Structures are given as C-alpha cells and as structure tokens.
C-alpha cells in the first residue's frame, strides 16, 4: 500500500489545503493529513481543534485520514509506513522554503520522497494567515474555507457569519 503524509499546521484548514489533499489522494492508496501539534508559529486553534477541522473537511473523501503528530514529520511518516510527503506550492517563495525542507528530509530519511503539487488557480492567493486576518476583521470567507471552519473562525473572533469585508487599508490584503 502506498501511503503519503501531508503534514502542516493547518491553522485553519483552508479550501486550498483540501484541494491539495483531494488531488494527492488520487496519487496514493492512502493519504494522511497530519496536523503538527507544536508549530513554531502562534496558532489560533489547538491541535485537537485543527485535527477535527481536517477530519470534518475530508469526511466522506475516500482514502484520506486526519491525524496529528509531534516531532519530526519524517519520523511520523516512518511510523505510519508512508513512502512520500506531500506539500503544496503556491509561489516561488514556497518553492524555495519547501526545497530546503525536502533536502533536509531526504538527508534524515533517504527513502521518503517529497511530492509537490502546484496549487489550483483559485487558491494561489490563499493562506491560513490571510484567512485569519479576514475573519478577524469580519470579512467574507466564502470559497476560502469549508463551512465548518468558517463557523469556528467566527466563533473564535466573535464575528457574525457573512460580515462586511474589511476596510481596504486595514490589515494585510
């Protein structure tokens, strides 16, 4: 069985992440979307909340499992008998970072392949950081995240669903 691991912080899980997961699942017998429990960046949601967001998003999608892990992704991949790590690429800056990580992972685990999927066009601009900023400012999240993730963001920020878009000069765009 060819198993792949799609690791990330997924804070929150976006439609871009879901797109990569669904496409990667077509390439492998099983895909594990693995939430990293202790990322170095500040997270809005706990590991359990992020894993539940992933689980709900992939519910009913054949061959995809939601999990969480701590430690090195290559070690977790080995423990799950994965043959590949899946990563999504949006821009050249993503490639530079992911290339460095892939080379280090190959050094740590030579038999584990890095598999990169280019993001689908509707999600080129999408990032979890941008989604959080829009949600914090009460902006629309239509098409950016699954419905249950939008609800979690609205509850976290205390903003009603479908609020007005953020002011053009406010926050990141």
* Catalytic annotation, residues: 17, 41, 90, 128
Rounded Cα distance between 173 and 167, Å, is 10
> 163: which DSSP letter?
P
Distance CA(118)–CA(62), nearest Å, equals 21
The first and second tokens of residue 141, run together, are 């999240």
User: How many residues are given for the chain?
Assistant: 173
Best CA proximity match to 15, nearest among 125, 159, 173, 94: 125
Q: Which three-class secondary structure state does DSSP give residue 12?
A: coil
Alpha helices in the chain (DSSP H): 15-25, 47-58, 73-79, 92-108, 128-136, 147-157
**What are the two backbone dihedrals, phi and then psi, of residue 78, each rounded to the nearest 5 degrees?**
-60, -45
How many C-beta neighbours within 10 Å does residue 160 have? 9
């Amino acid at each position: 069985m060819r198993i792949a691991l799609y690791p990330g912080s997924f804070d929150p899980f976006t439609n871009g992440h879901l797109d990569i997961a669904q496409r990667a699942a077509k390439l492998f017998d099983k895909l594990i979307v693995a939430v990293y429990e202790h990322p170095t960046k500040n997270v809005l949601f706990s590991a359990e909340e992020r894993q539940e967001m992933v689980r709900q998003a992939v519910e009913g999608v054949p061959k995809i499992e939601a999990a969480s892990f701590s430690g090195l992704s290559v070690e977790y991949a080995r423990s799950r008998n994965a043959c590949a790590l899946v990563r999504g690429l949006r821009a050249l800056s993503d490639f530079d970072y992911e290339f460095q990580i892939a080379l280090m992972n190959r050094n740590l685990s030579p038999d584990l392949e890095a598999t990169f999927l280019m993001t689908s066009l509707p999600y080129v601009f999408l990032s979890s950081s941008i989604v959080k900023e829009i949600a914090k400012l009460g902006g629309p999240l239509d098409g950016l995240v699954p419905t249950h993730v939008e609800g979690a963001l609205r509850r976290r920020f205390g903003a009603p669903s479908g609020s007005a878009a953020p002011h053009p000069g406010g926050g990141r765009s």
